[in-house]
Structure 1
């Protein structure tokens, strides 16, 4: 969400004014898309990584504010949980060896954060869901004390009218994993379960004319991204989905009562429901379907700003967009006085390592370019429902769940990547101007991950299974697995190379 909040209560008229302002922002954006120039610089990319802090027992350490103050960098920010931090790296272009430098910068920033965390009796854990979380950790006192999180929690619980329910049934036992799946059902009086979900968010600035194609392509790729990047198989001691972060985030931010859910009211964590032609389609859906959670209005009038030759901030539209968590989110922003639009990809978990995350990012960016420039767009031969089914299948089953792909039919994700998508990603990165050595370094990580069939999620499952075979109970096995995971993550060796407990 990102924007500051200085109000804790809202009247009926606040909500009415807010709706009017959101629609005026929409009108202003529609005018800008027709008549106003947007930034035409080289497309910029960005990356955000959410981090966990753990104590000496590898349990959540509520030291986020202390660590943030010790780091003293604007690139690190608070997150919902007091055991979370977020790292935002400055935007950079794709060509050349820029993303090799990004890996180095990411490692440097993480090294500083690790050192400052140690000074605060904690350490960093870069993982989709902290596997040592327990039910007693997910309480209201664990929410960061920033006013925006307090207000967000109050408004979401008020809209829902009852506790947040998490109900996730694990994937059926398959493959070589000897860990039986579980079912987790729990009620929470706050939105703190959302803080258990730590992700990597990828940004790509695009031309407004091309936004629809890039967003559609990103939706097509969401299932593949999850299948090869899953890193969240455990929650509160239960073995659940390959990427449990997906259903957990959907449920922990669900402000609908069961009755509204049954009526088909759209959720605020949303894959979407159709292919689009313009970024305006998504912002219009936001205004049409979702009431304001935090109806703050500003004095500026976006249409008056346009008439006066000023670039409008579209504050209400951006705030509203920040409370609707699409897996591929539209972004409008203004930088150096020029407006631009971005696709924000929110599909992937954090971790396991910097090199794994950069590999995931470049695989995504390369494929985007090829799909967007194809003579026949992939989404013209794939239904939106198929793309959504791929997304859910990959989140549930990881590499074991067949995906539908035009021209290939139903195919296992690792086979799809090795046979078809890796060459396309290589072609796309070359079109972006990415250096050959950079392409080889990072796409080889994806290739080896698929040939070994070992994602972060698979490694976690196998490590826990190995420790349980040696006699450890589930909690001890999760603790032992996380200790080994942190060593591998710090070493920055790709997860497919990590050994399992003997």
Structure 2
């Protein structure tokens, strides 16, 4: 969730100064773009994965500070709740054996973290939403001890002025209320970064938006929250509602949510940062020491700290990122669409599919976003979240007829998008054997119509048919998921049926209502 911050109280003068500095930062960004003050392309990609901690019983464990102390590595950090961790992989150049190298680093890092977690009777679980979470697990007291999280919670609560409401109608319906943003911590994701030049930014961002629904369709892994089976990828509605500072009256007026897909294709990165200032009031009005325009006038590179901080409180599924490394400014597209898991192989397959496809689409002579209405892309995203691997999406027709047509996501991926992704990986210079192996995992999911979400739902219902109560079935499924996750074979190969035994949950855990 970004850098640490410290706050000793915020007053009106702080807010006025912050607003002035935000506009100075935006002007500084405009000048830097006009003066071509950005790094040259380096074909660099980066990866972050948010993780869950669970016990041998499958229930969440609030131990991240103790586990991190034992891991003792800067690659692992806290996340919003005490049952969360985040692992960051060093940026890699997109070429050669990068996919296998990435897989090996992830296996090594996660294996080490798992060994350290086991010393505290905990396990690492890489999953979009831990199925055994209950609302009682995610309260203000379960937030990590980090100034930013505490302040963000306070400011979001103050902006909303009443409890946050979660109301999701899926396979079942979930209605829940929370006085804090803690339910946001249920959502754990994979974040993919791609450094781009200003001239290529809009094409890459638009391409990433166009394929977000497809990423969800093949990669969904979050069908449960608080004991209910919801959407196949429930993270987006949960995240939006858990961070929604709009009371119903503001929603009725059309005020944008802080978690959103967007509303249009763009022509430059400046448009996205300008939207941030135009649509969203600051939540964390904390000013850095730099005066960005003065730094620019003196020939330096500003950190644009206020713009970066504000950007971190607006949760776009494809987020623009400004950074400075080695005294040189750069831009990145941060893809936040994918849930964590199920396995390292699946994560790397999703990664290969994204980087290959986004490059191919960004370089098309007639880009997909010129043929696909933005409203259709946003509708596709919602549809994919609801239905996952079974989604039917709208996509531009090939040939002279033009327009769009409905097509099952699995057919779209196999017939059109996988060949494009392969061509994109070739353009990056990725080793063909790695390309074929990891894109083959995506194809196999489509052939079998299996991803993490469909496996979780099928395994849960298998456990219920064996006579387990709802909470016990979720716990049994979560334990089985953890076993298979650490075994490492991709999710489309996982068997659904297994001997569930007499699995139970601790007596102190209040059972969720049985429902339908």
- What pairs with 1:341-490 in structure 2 (closer than 5 Å)? 341-407=331-397, 409-490=405-486
Q: Distance in 1 between matches of 2:41 and 2:387?
A: 40
Instruction: Name the counterpart of 2:295.
Output: 305
Deviation at 1:2, TM superposition (A): 1.4
Equivalent residue for 2:234, pick from 228, 239, 244:
244
Deviation at 1:41, TM superposition (A): 4.2
Q: Distance in 2 between matches of 1:372 and 1:186?
A: 41
Partner of 1:499, secondary structure, is coil
Q: Distance in 2 between matches of 1:476 and 1:58?
A: 10
Contact 1:47–1:91 (8 Å) recurs in 2: yes
Q: Distance in 2 between matches of 1:120 and 1:259?
A: 47
Equivalent residue for 2:222, pick from 220, 225, 232:
232
Q: Distance in 1 between matches of 2:35 and 2:135?
A: 53
Q: Distance in 2 between matches of 1:126 and 1:53?
A: 9
1:101 aligns with 2:91: no
Instruction: Name the counterpart of 2:24.
Output: 24
Deviation at 1:9, TM superposition (A): 2.5
Contact 1:8–1:151 (8 Å) recurs in 2: no
Deviation at 1:140, TM superposition (A): 1.6
1:139 aligns with 2:139: yes
Contact 1:327–1:346 (8 Å) recurs in 2: yes
Partner of 2:319, secondary structure, is strand
Partner of 1:120, secondary structure, is coil
Q: Distance in 1 between matches of 2:85 and 2:157?
A: 23
Instruction: Name the counterpart of 2:167.
Output: 167
Q: Distance in 1 between matches of 2:320 and 2:135?
A: 34
Partner of 2:307, secondary structure, is helix
Instruction: Name the counterpart of 1:75.
Output: 75
Q: Distance in 1 between matches of 2:49 and 2:477?
A: 22
Q: Distance in 1 between matches of 2:63 and 2:372?
A: 46
Q: Distance in 2 between matches of 1:403 and 1:501?
A: 31
Contact 1:114–1:124 (8 Å) recurs in 2: yes
Q: Let me know the Cα RMSD of the aligned residues.
A: 0.9
Q: How many residues matched? A: 492
Deviation at 1:8, TM superposition (A): 4.5
Instruction: Name the counterpart of 1:296.
Output: 286
Contact 2:81–2:138 (8 Å) recurs in 1: no
Partner of 1:343, secondary structure, is strand
Please say which of residues 213-222 and 34-43 is displaced more in the overlay: 34-43
Instruction: Name the counterpart of 2:509.
Output: none
Instruction: Name the counterpart of 1:174.
Output: none
Q: Distance in 1 between matches of 2:55 and 2:253?
A: 44
Contact 1:327–1:345 (8 Å) recurs in 2: yes
Q: Distance in 2 between matches of 1:12 and 1:262?
A: 28
Q: Distance in 1 between matches of 2:40 and 2:106?
A: 27
Write out the 4+ residue segments of structure 1 that deviate beyond 3 Å after TM superposition: none
Instruction: Name the counterpart of 1:177.
Output: none
Deviation at 1:483, TM superposition (A): 1.1
Instruction: Name the counterpart of 1:61.
Output: 61
Cα-to-partner distance string for 1:461-497 (whole Å, 9 max, x where unaligned)? 1111111112122111111111110011001100000
Q: Distance in 2 between matches of 1:204 and 1:348?
A: 15
Instruction: Name the counterpart of 2:507.
Output: none
Gaps of 5+ in 2: 399-404, 499-516
Gaps of 5+ in 1: 171-180
Q: Distance in 2 between matches of 1:4 and 1:438?
A: 37
Deviation at 1:366, TM superposition (A): 0.6
Contact 2:51–2:85 (8 Å) recurs in 1: yes
- When normalised by structure 1's length, the TM-score is 0.97
Instruction: Name the counterpart of 2:306.
Output: 316
Partner of 2:185, secondary structure, is helix
Q: Distance in 2 between matches of 1:166 and 1:62?
A: 23
Cα-to-partner distance string for 1:56-88 (whole Å, 9 max, x where unaligned)? 321111110000011111111100100100001
Q: Distance in 2 between matches of 1:460 and 1:295?
A: 41
Instruction: Name the counterpart of 1:154.
Output: 154
Instruction: Name the counterpart of 2:12.
Output: 12
Q: Distance in 1 between matches of 2:464 and 2:317?
A: 35
Equivalent residue for 2:320, pick from 308, 327, 330:
330
Deviation at 1:38, TM superposition (A): 1.5
Instruction: Name the counterpart of 2:37.
Output: 37
Cα-to-partner distance string for 1:446-465 (whole Å, 9 max, x where unaligned)? 00010000000000011111
Q: Distance in 2 between matches of 1:429 and 1:479?
A: 39
Partner of 1:422, secondary structure, is helix
Q: Distance in 2 between matches of 1:258 and 1:41?
A: 44
Deviation at 1:299, TM superposition (A): 2.6
Q: Distance in 2 between matches of 1:81 and 1:8?
A: 22
